[in-house]
Structure 1
Amino acid sequence: MKIAFVGKGGSGKTTLSALFIRHLAAAGRPVLAVDADINQHLGPALGLTDDQAAALPALGARLPEIKEYLRGSNPLIRSAEEMIKTTPPGRGSRLLRIVEENPVYTACARPVALDEGSVRLLATGAFAEEDLGVACYHSKVGAVELLLNHLVDGREEYVVTDMTAGSDSFASGLFTRFDLTFLIAEPTRKGVSVYRQYRDYARDFGVRIRVVGNKVQGPGDLDFLRREVGEDLLASFGQSDWVRRLEQGARPPLRALEPANRAVLSELRAAADAAYELRDPRRYTEQAVLFHLRNAESWANAKVGTDLAAQVDPDYVLGADTAVPVGGAVPAGEPTAAGAAV
């Protein structure tokens, strides 16, 4: 299942996303962790040194390789150069699975060993000097959108993405690529303002949001969140000496996390598992096509020099476990996973 963590800058979304990743890994679940924030902090939150985090390969720097691989033998995509961040898969496209080896993971993903289990980590990459003043960060995040458009996942397999802060996620269709979005909110007016923005933007797209209160110090804070957020409030994470030690550079084992805060992680997993059961592959595919057509019309057709609406395979649905044409089985000879050779 595909999970996003969002929130105001400084709300603790990266810390909580890292804790959730560690919780899943400790339970023996396959996890693909994605750092899609402009400030690349997920690696250090998972225990990497600053040098190790800086050495992570950037997805944005490997877009040509990624596109060439995902294009596969899809006859509607004439070249990798004509693929953009929203290009949807079709018959002949190569797909990615969470549990497999493929050239994309070999080039871009790195294993991270945790005190309990391990995960694969992907990172969009930080701004480079040549990007300053001339590039939009969302062009880097576009690699994540392209990957999620081509990724099939099953029950108890998890993609956990640490998103950009605030409402910046709505600058692309990436916010629709998840089964569930956890919005981390502090018990302050600023904290819940991002929730309201996200809720209002997401409403028309059926995006499921659950709020996780953070830095909650007592009943008054909890009452404030309940009043401002209502039924969207899932759980609240309290003050944590464990997190403080982590932020000071220590590496405390997950089992030492306060029992009440560990219980919150279990609640998040239960909510994620429930959201997986409600997923609608047809809507997921239709939304990918919608944002592709929007991008094609607004800028991409002019940039590429062709009508990218022609890349849409109208009878294709990316399913929960595999990709099949609407109303039928996978045609013989059509690759449905990324295991085929490049």
Structure 2
Amino acid sequence: MKVAFVGKGGSGKTTMASLFARRAVETGHQVFAIDADINQHLAAALGVDASADLPPLGERIAEIKDYLRGTNPRIASADAMVKTTPPGAGSRLLTLADNPLYATCTRRHAGLRLAVTGGFATDDLGVACYHSKTGAVELLLNHLVDGAREYVVVDMIAGAEAFASGMFTRFDRTFLVCEPTVRSVGVYKQYAEYAADYDVAISVIGNKIDDADDADFLREHVGEALFACFGRSRYVKAAERGDLQPIAALEPGNLAVLDNARGLVELGGKDWGKFTRQARQFHVRNAEAWANSRSGADLSDQIDPDFVLGPQCLDDLSGSVTVR
């Protein structure tokens, strides 16, 4: 299952993504955690040492494109790929199993696989757009077939910036982390409004909840979208000070929020047909908006009309692809 955590900056979305990922590992799931926010905090929340070698996906976009393109005849070259390019016959697909791309672009930590988009470098300032960084994540998600008891957990860019591309449709469930404040509720309303036409499953997790008044405030403003409330946590406070304890030490009520959230994701199931349709939709929009003029070609021709992403595309768990 593919799961996103979004919210206002400072709402706790990164903390919630890290807790969800760690709990999923502890309960026997395979997890691929991706920091898609250019303000890079997920690795630290997972307990990765600041000196660790974490190769930024944004700096390896050419390598990612070359690998995913495979022998797809609809894609003239790796340079012709854009962030929304969908897979087709001949593409290399990804699973959570090891592959040559992961060997160079991800790292293992505490039982999960971790990838980071990468922040702005000095050379980027004033000349680069952060979407050139997050485009690498979108390509990975478009080519990734996740299976049973597998989770791809993505810490998204703060606020509603994800709507600058189709990445917000790449998930089986989106958890919007919301503090009991007017500004945080405002981000939820903006996100929900943008997503309303795209059948995006959004659930709100209230965070930093001190009392019933906080929960009532959120319930008043987000209604039935409020899934659960995560109480203010001494465990989280200690972790933010560098004392990261085993996830089982989290307060029981907060631990139950994580387990119930995972249950909600599983209950929602997968729809590979919708996933594929939306990938095509946003690729056409992206092509018409700017990519065709930049490339000098009609990139909608990259769409393979007979291809539907899903487990049926895989020969085996190594990630090779054949459409059957």
CA distance in 2, matches of 1:207, 1:260: 27
**For residues 103 and 273 of structure 1, what CA distance do their matches in structure 2 show?**
29
Q: Please give the secondary structure, in 2, of the residue aligned with 1:300.
A: helix
1:216 maps to what in 2? 209
Identity %: 56
Please say if residues 36 and 144 of structure 1, whose CA atoms lie closer than 8 Å, have aligned partners that are also in contact. yes
Matched residue SS, 1:213: strand
Q: Which amino acid aligns with 2:105?
A: C
Deviates more, 1:193-202 or 1:252-261: 252-261
Measure, in 1, the Cα distance between the counterparts of 2:246 and 2:68. 38
Contact 1:68–1:80 (CA under 8 A) maintained in structure 2: yes
The aligned residue for residue 51 of structure 2 is: 51
SS of the residue corresponding to residue 274 of structure 1 reads helix
Within 5 Å, give how 1:209-288 maps onto structure 2: 209-275=202-268, 277=269, 279-288=270-279
How many angstroms apart in 1 are the aligned matches of 2:133 and 2:199? 25
1:61 has 2:38 as partner: no
Residue type at the aligned position of 1:313: D
- Letter of the structure 1 residue corresponding to residue 319 of structure 2: A
Moved over 4 A (4+): 334-337
TM-score (norm 1): 0.91
Partners in 2 of 1:200 and 1:296 — Cα distance?
24
1:39 aligns with 2:36: no
Residues 86, 292 of structure 1: 8 Å contact kept: yes
Moved more, 3-12 or 292-301: 292-301
Contact 1:167 1:198 in 2 (8 A): yes
For residues 309 and 266 of structure 1, the distance between their equivalents in structure 2, rounded to whole angstroms, comes to 41
Q: Residue 299 in 1 paired to residue 297 in 2?
A: no
How far apart, in 2, do the equivalents of 1:178 and 1:267 lie? 18
Deviation of 1:337 after TM superposition, in Å, equals: 5.8
Equivalent AA in structure 1 for residue 108 of structure 2 = P
Partner of 2:280 in structure 1? 289
> Match of 1:214, SS?
strand
How far the C-alpha of 1:48 sits from its partner, in A, is 1.1
1:27 equivalenced with 2:4 (yes/no) = no
Match of 1:81 among 79, 82, 86: 79
TM-score (norm 2): 0.96
Which residue does 2:8 correspond to in 1? 8
Q: Deviations over 1:40-86 (max 9, x none)?
A: 0000000012222xx31011111111111111111111111111111
In the aligned structure 2, how far is the partner of 1:256 from the partner of 1:80? 46
| 1:103-135 deviation line (CA, Å, top 9, x unaligned) | 11011110012xxxx100011111111110111
Task: Determine the structure 2 residue equivalent to 1:151.
Answer: 144
Cα distance in 1 for partners of 2:215, 2:290 equals 45
| Alpha-carbon distance in 1 for matches of 2:195, 2:253 | 30
Q: Does 1:120 align with 2:118?
A: no
| CA RMSD of superposed structures (Å) | 1.4
| Structure 1 spans left out of the alignment, 5+ residues | 324-329
1:326 equivalent in structure 2:
none
